[in-house]
Amino acid sequence: MAHVLITGGSRGIGAAAVRVFAKAGYEVSFFYEKRADAAAALAAETGARAIRCDAADTEAVAAAVASIPPVDVLVNNAGISHVGLISQITPEEWDRLFAVNVKSIYNTVRAVLPAMLQKQAGAVVNLSSMWGQAGASCEAAYSATKGAVIALTQALARELGPSGIRVNAVSPGMIDTEMNAHLSAEDKAALAEDTPLGRIGTPEEVAAAILYLAEASFVTGQVLAVNGGYL
User: Strand, coil or helix: what is 1?
Assistant: coil
Percent above pLDDT 90 for the chain? 77
Query: Would you state the pLDDT for residue 181?
Result: 61
Residue 160 lies in a domain: yes
Nearest partner of 2 among 21, 27, 33, judged by Cα: 27
Residue 231 lies in a domain: no
Report, as residue numbers or ranges, the catalytic residues: 142
pLDDT tens, residue by residue, 21-30: 999 999 999 9
Q: Could you tell me the residue range of the domain that residue 179 belongs to?
A: 3-226
User: Strand, coil or helix: what is 166?
Assistant: strand
pLDDT tens, residue by residue, 53-100: 999 999 999 999 999 999 999 999 999 988 888 899 999 999 999 999
Residue 135 lies in a domain: yes
Give alpha helix (H) positions in 24-125: 36-46, 58-66, 91-98, 104-119
What's the total number of domains in the chain? 1
The CA–CA distances, whole Å, from 112 to 4, 102, 107, 168, 183 equal: 11, 16, 9, 16, 36
* CATH code, 44: 3.40.50.720
State the chain's maximal CA–CA distance in angstroms.
Answer: 51
